[in-house]
């Protein structure tokens, strides 16, 4: 194993992240995260129970829909040089994306319940949910790889082959995906607790810093998904050529 083999997927992801479509996507995610965080940390106001339910549903469905659009747009712009690139496989894309979101939400919910039901320490109260969320994101990595491929119209490889790839040729892509998931997800609460002035973490500067961390995490993970597609999809160039 050479050091270049380890670092190549990260270098490829960073190169993709600096392209204009990725930077636009980063700004969209930053704006969305900033608005959601500002709304969630607003002073308590009286809302009718039914309205509160609909508002909570909107705050879940809205970001999920925007994220799906971002995945689709990045696939159509950053994978357009692929052999096999063509008409989007809309049905598969929607099905895989919905499945990935459901799995992430279920694992995050179950893990958070487990953490908070065991008499958590102060550290777990701060980092427990982000840690569990990172595990959930890592678990669905192959699903998101297929999401990007189907949005680009690439029929092969199927999901089973992607799972095999993750633990073979794609192990270093998966490694960096895990590093980004854990690193950025834990960096957000660490910044809130340790680096921002007390009581100012939810003010605009602190909000922007934490939202920028979240946006960077999402875009880098997406770029690693694209790197994985470039490495595993049938008919593509070797990754050495793609990311040289």
pLDDT in tens, 85-125: 788 999 999 999 999 999 999 999 898 888 888 777 777 77
Cα torsion 30, 229, 171, 26 to 10°: value is -10
The tokens describing 129, both together, are 């949910």
Alpha-carbon span 68 to 78, nearest angstrom: 15
CB 111 within 8 A of CB 135: yes
Cis upstream peptide for 120 (omega within 30°):
no
Average pLDDT, the chain: 83
CA–chain centroid gap for 52, Å, is: 27
Check: CB of residue 203 under 8 Å from CB of residue 182.
no
Are 136 and 108 spatial neighbours (Cβ–Cβ below 8 Å)?
Answer: yes
The total of other beta-carbon atoms located within 10 Å of residue 7's CB is 12
Q: Is pLDDT at 236 greater than 60 in this prediction?
A: no
pLDDT of residue 97: 95
Is residue 46 over pLDDT 70?
no
Q: Quote the CA–CA distance of 88 and 153 in Å, as a whole number.
A: 4
What's the CA gap between 57 and 168, in Å, rounded?
Answer: 39
Q: Give every CB contact of residue 221 below 8 A, 6+ residues apart in sequence.
A: 137, 144, 177, 180, 181
Percent over 70 (pLDDT), the chain: 83
What pLDDT sits at residue 42? 65
Cβ atoms within 10 A of the Cβ of 2, count?
Answer: 7
Q: b/e string for 140-153 if b means 16 or more Cβ within 10 A?
A: bbbbbbbbbbbbbb
CA 30 to chain centre: 13
What are 101's two structure tokens?
């979101």
pTM: 0.86
**Helix 141-151 and helix 122-139: axis angle, to 10°?**
40
| Structure tokens belonging to residue 63 | 């970001």
């Amino acid at each position: 194993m050479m050091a270049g083999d380890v670092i190549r997927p990260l270098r490829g992801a960073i190169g993709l992240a600096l392209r204009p479509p990725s930077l636009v996507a980063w700004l969209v995610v930053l704006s969305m995260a900033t608005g959601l965080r500002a709304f969630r940390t607003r002073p308590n106001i009286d809302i009718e129970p039914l309205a509160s339910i609909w508002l909570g549903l909107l705050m879940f469905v809205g970001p999920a829909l925007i994220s799906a659009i971002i995945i689709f747009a990045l696939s159509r712009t950053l994978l357009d040089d692929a052999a096999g690139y063509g008409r989007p496989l809309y049905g598969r894309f929607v099905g895989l994306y919905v499945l990935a979101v459901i799995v992430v939400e279920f694992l995050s919910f179950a893990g958070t319940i487990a953490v908070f039901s065991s008499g958590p320490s102060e550290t777990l109260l701060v980092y427990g949910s982000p840690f569990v969320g990172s595990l959930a994101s890592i678990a669905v990595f192959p699903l998101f790889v297929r999401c990007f491929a189907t949005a680009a119209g690439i029929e092969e490889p199927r999901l089973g082959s992607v799972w095999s790839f993750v633990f073979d040729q794609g192990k270093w892509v998966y490694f960096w995906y895990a590093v980004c998931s854990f690193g950025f997800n834990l960096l957000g609460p660490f910044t809130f607790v340790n680096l921002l002035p007390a009581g100012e973490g939810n003010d605009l500067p602190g909000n922007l810093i934490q939202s920028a961390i979240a946006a960077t995490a999402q875009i880098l993970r997406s770029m690693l998904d694209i790197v994985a597609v470039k490495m595993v999809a049938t008919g593509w160039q070797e990754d050495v050529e793609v990311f040289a």
